[in-house]
Structure 1
Amino acid sequence: MKVIGVIPARYGSTRFPGKPLALINGKPMVQRVYEQVIKSKELDKVVVATDHEDIKKVVEEFGGNVVMTKTDHETGSDRMAEVTTKVDGDFYVNIQGDEPLIRPELIDALVQAAKETPDTVVTAKTVLQNAEDAENPNVVKVVTDKNGLALYFSRSPIPYNRSGKEVTYYKHLGIYGYPKEIINEFVQLPASTLESLEVLEQLRLLENGYHIKVVETAYDAVGVDTPEDIGKVEKILGGVKHV
């Protein structure tokens, strides 16, 4: 199985235009993500998928692989599907381009799970440490069956704890691995009812009968959504904030 790691790096962002090029302790974020991802032992190749020449130039300057994609993709999955037509592989891992602290061990765990359960999409979850996040609609929750397959994803707290017993909530992490055939079938499907209600693309997979294997990890994503988040990441890295 030839495994390709894909880092989407879109230039346009409502809250943070040009985000992939934002400097984190003097180094572009896209480079920090790339350098973390290539530490993975399970990936055969890593590429940055971008829609902007400035990002392409930066990636080439630090020696990374880059693929130009269309500017009008509605979702990250659509961009991934285009990559499959340009980079040969059997399995593609979509790694968020705004997580400079991504752990290569998590990527390896996803690929290993994929090898054990072929023809299945894989993703990840982690225990919610902050109880308030269970009520936060910006934090997506997931519940799984006894075999680790996703039952449902929601912005609401799931399961609903009517019993009052102690409950563990799991946060869904936005990293996905797809067999080539499934990602290309997926993007051809119309938006589903639950997907439209929750605004969660992965529900389209569940509604159409696809299985999603969910790997548990201790890693909790630290994403960069706004310029203010740069300082948080720099603090974690232990460096001095770059001006």
Structure 2
Amino acid sequence: MEDLSPLQAFRRVCNLRMLAGVYYFCLLYAISRALTWYGEGDGGLTDALFDLIRFSRQCLLTGISLLVMVGLAEAVLAGRRWKLPAALTVQAGAVAFGAALGTWLRYAVSSMGDPSNKVKPGWVISTISLWALLGGIAYALLLVGRAQRQGRDELTRLFREREALKTQQTEAQLSALNAQIEPHFLFNTLANVKRLYETQPERGRNMLVALIAYLRAALPGMRRHESTLADELELVRHYLAILQMRMGERL
């Protein structure tokens, strides 16, 4: 769960992007209703445009009311461990109150300059029900999308952690293998140098020179966690040179 302050949770819902989405939805809804009225009514195009503007304004009032109430609900729920029934109650209450507030604002604006405009209970109930349904669906889609995004982020984080652990495990295994191989290789090489100095001094000197070159290439890498490809190739070249001297034609 994301740890957000109430203000951050509110701004995550009430921002320009969400406001633009509400505006375009209300505009499309108003256009669909205006087209219906234009086909059924006797008025002309001017009346249809006036109805479109009026209904768009009313829808936008309801949409903004719902958006603000959802933002307030998110602010209330932010940073607290709410049980699911309590959280659902807050969210449903915010949607219902937002729909009711938007309906009241629509009636208040439409009644300006027309005192004879009386509120009809059927219109109030149907408007609140419709916008509560639309707001509930939009809120549910918002929560589902957020949960999916958080799930993807969590999977990405776990995948990266697993890859990091694999890398660390591989490095640890290589370090352990080097710790086992290098002393054995070093002691065997020194034993060969001692034996060759007793029997073939020239070959003994050559092997000692190759061993010194190998150690010069290997020791700096032991103090670093990373090495370049050129360093590794140089180390392998000296290693193979020593093995060639030790094993002769068998290598």
User: Normalization by structure 2: what TM-score?
Assistant: 0.24
Q: Which has the larger strand fraction?
A: 1
Q: Which has the larger helix fraction?
A: 2
User: Normalization by structure 1: what TM-score?
Assistant: 0.25
Higher relative contact order (CA 8 A, sep 6+): 1
